[in-house]
Chains A and B, each alone.
Chain A
Amino acid sequence: MSNNQKKRNFQIEAFKPKEVVDPKYAEKTWKILENAIHEIYNHIAGGLNLEELYHNAGGLNFEELYRNAYNMVLHKFGEKLYSGLVSTMTLHLKEISKSIEAAQGGLFLEELNRKWTDHNKALQMIRDILMYMDRTFIPSNHKTPVHELGLNLWRDNIIHSSKIQMRLLNTLLELILIERTGEVINRGLMRNIIKMLMDLGPSVYQEDFEKPFLEVSADFYRVESQKFIESCDCGDYLKKAERRLNEEIERVSHYLDAKSEAKITNVVEKEMIANHMLRLVHMENSGLVNMLLDDKYEDLGRMYNLFRRVPNGLSTIRDVMTSHIRDTGKQLVTDPERLKDPVEFVQCLLDEKDKYDKIISLAFNNDKTFQNALNSSFEFFINLNSRSPEFISLFVDDKLRKGLKGVSEEDVEIVLDKVMMLFRYLQEKDVFEKYYKQHLAKRLLSGKTVSDDAERSLIVKLKTECGYQFTSKLEGMFTDMKTSQDTMQGFYTSHGAELGDGPTLAVQVLTTGSWPTQPSVTCNLPAEMSALCEKFRSYYLGTHTGRRLSWQTNMGTADLKATFGKGQKHELNVSTYQMCVLMLFNNAERLSYKEIEQATEIPSPDLKRCLQSLACVKGKNVLRKEPMSKDIGEDDVFLVNDKFTSKFYKVKIGTVVAQKESEPEKQETRQRVEEDRKPQIEAAIVRIMKSRRVLDHNNIIAEVTKQLQSRFLANPGEIKKRIESLIERDFLERDNADRRLYRYLA
Chain B
Amino acid sequence: MKKEDTVKLISAEGFEFVIDKKAAMVSQTIRNMLTSPGSFAETEHGEVTFPEISTTILEKICQYFYWSLQYASGKETEFHIEPELTLELMMAANYLHT
**Interface on A for B, CB 8 Å cutoff?**
1-2, 4-5, 7-8, 11-12, 14-15, 40, 43-44, 49-51, 54, 59-63, 66-67, 70, 121-122, 124-125, 128, 131-132, 135
B3 CB → nearest A CB, Å: 16
- Docked pose: A61 CA to B98 CA in angstroms: 20
Contact B44 A51 (CB under 8 A): yes
B11 CB → nearest A CB, Å: 12
| The residue from B37, B42, B64, B90 contacting A62, defined by CB atoms under 8 A apart | B42
- Docked pose: A61 CA to B40 CA in angstroms: 6
User: Interface digits, B49-71 against A, CB 8 Å rule (1 contact, 0 not)?
Assistant: 11110000000000010001000
- Docked pose: A15 CA to B89 CA in angstroms: 12
| The residue from A4, A12, A121, A131 contacting B97, defined by CB atoms under 8 A apart | A131
| Residues of chain A contacted by B81 (CB below 8 angstroms) | 1
Greatest chain A CB density within 10 A among B33, B43, B49, B89 is at B33
B16 CB → nearest A CB, Å: 14
Nearest residue, chain B, Cβ from A3 = B79
| Residues of chain B contacted by A12 (CB below 8 angstroms) | 90-91, 94
Greatest chain A CB density within 10 A among B33, B91, B94 is at B94
Query: Given A1-B79, A5-B93, A124-B36, do A67 and B52 touch, yes or no (CB 8 Å)?
Result: yes
| Residues of chain A contacted by B43 (CB below 8 angstroms) | 62
Contact A128 B32 (CB under 8 A): yes
**Can you list 23 A-B pairs with a CB-CB distance of less than 8 A?**
A1-B64, A1-B89, A1-B90, A1-B98, A4-B90, A11-B90, A11-B91, A43-B38, A44-B38, A51-B39, A54-B40, A54-B41, A60-B41, A61-B49, A62-B32, A62-B48, A63-B33, A63-B48, A63-B49, A66-B33, A67-B51, A124-B38, A132-B95
Nearest residue, chain A, Cβ from B81 = A1
| Residues of chain A contacted by B97 (CB below 8 angstroms) | 131-132, 135
Contact B89 A62 (CB under 8 A): no
| Residues of chain B contacted by A124 (CB below 8 angstroms) | 36-38
User: Interface digits, B19-48 against A, CB 8 Å rule (1 contact, 0 not)?
Assistant: 000000000110011001111111110001
Majority secondary structure, B binding face: helix
- Docked pose: A51 CA to B41 CA in angstroms: 6
- Docked pose: A523 CA to B43 CA in angstroms: 124
Query: Given A8-B90, A11-B90, do A61 and B42 touch, yes or no (CB 8 Å)?
Result: yes
Contact A125 B33 (CB under 8 A): no
Contact A60 B40 (CB under 8 A): yes
| Residues of chain A contacted by B93 (CB below 8 angstroms) | 1, 4-5, 8
- Docked pose: A355 CA to B53 CA in angstroms: 90
B86 at the interface (CB under 8 A from A): yes
Greatest chain B CB density within 10 A among A40, A66, A131 is at A66
Number of A-B contacts (CB under 8 A): 93
Contact B32 A131 (CB under 8 A): yes
Size category, B interface: 20 to 34
Contact A2 B98 (CB under 8 A): yes
| The residue from B29, B33, B38, B42 contacting A40, defined by CB atoms under 8 A apart | B38
B59 CB → nearest A CB, Å: 13
Contact A63 B86 (CB under 8 A): no
Nearest residue, chain B, Cβ from A10 = B90
B12 CB → nearest A CB, Å: 12
- Docked pose: A62 CA to B28 CA in angstroms: 13
Nearest residue, chain A, Cβ from B44 = A51
| The residue from A2, A62, A67 contacting B41, defined by CB atoms under 8 A apart | A62
B1 at the interface (CB under 8 A from A): no
- Docked pose: A687 CA to B36 CA in angstroms: 90
Contact A131 B89 (CB under 8 A): no
- Docked pose: A493 CA to B97 CA in angstroms: 117
A679 CB → nearest B CB, Å: 89
Contact B41 A50 (CB under 8 A): yes
| Residues of chain B contacted by A63 (CB below 8 angstroms) | 33, 42, 48-50
- Docked pose: A63 CA to B68 CA in angstroms: 22
- In the complex, besides A1-B93, A12-B94, A124-B37, 16 extra interface pairs with C-beta distance below 8 angstroms are A4-B89, A7-B90, A11-B94, A15-B87, A50-B44, A51-B41, A51-B44, A60-B38, A62-B32, A62-B33, A62-B43, A63-B48, A63-B50, A66-B33, A132-B29, A135-B97
Nearest residue, chain A, Cβ from B61 = A1
| Residues of chain B contacted by A40 (CB below 8 angstroms) | 38
B47 CB → nearest A CB, Å: 10
The 7 closest A-B pairs by CB, nearest first: A125-B38, A62-B40, A62-B33, A128-B36, A128-B32, A11-B90, A1-B93
| Residues of chain B contacted by A44 (CB below 8 angstroms) | 38
Nearest residue, chain B, Cβ from A124 = B37
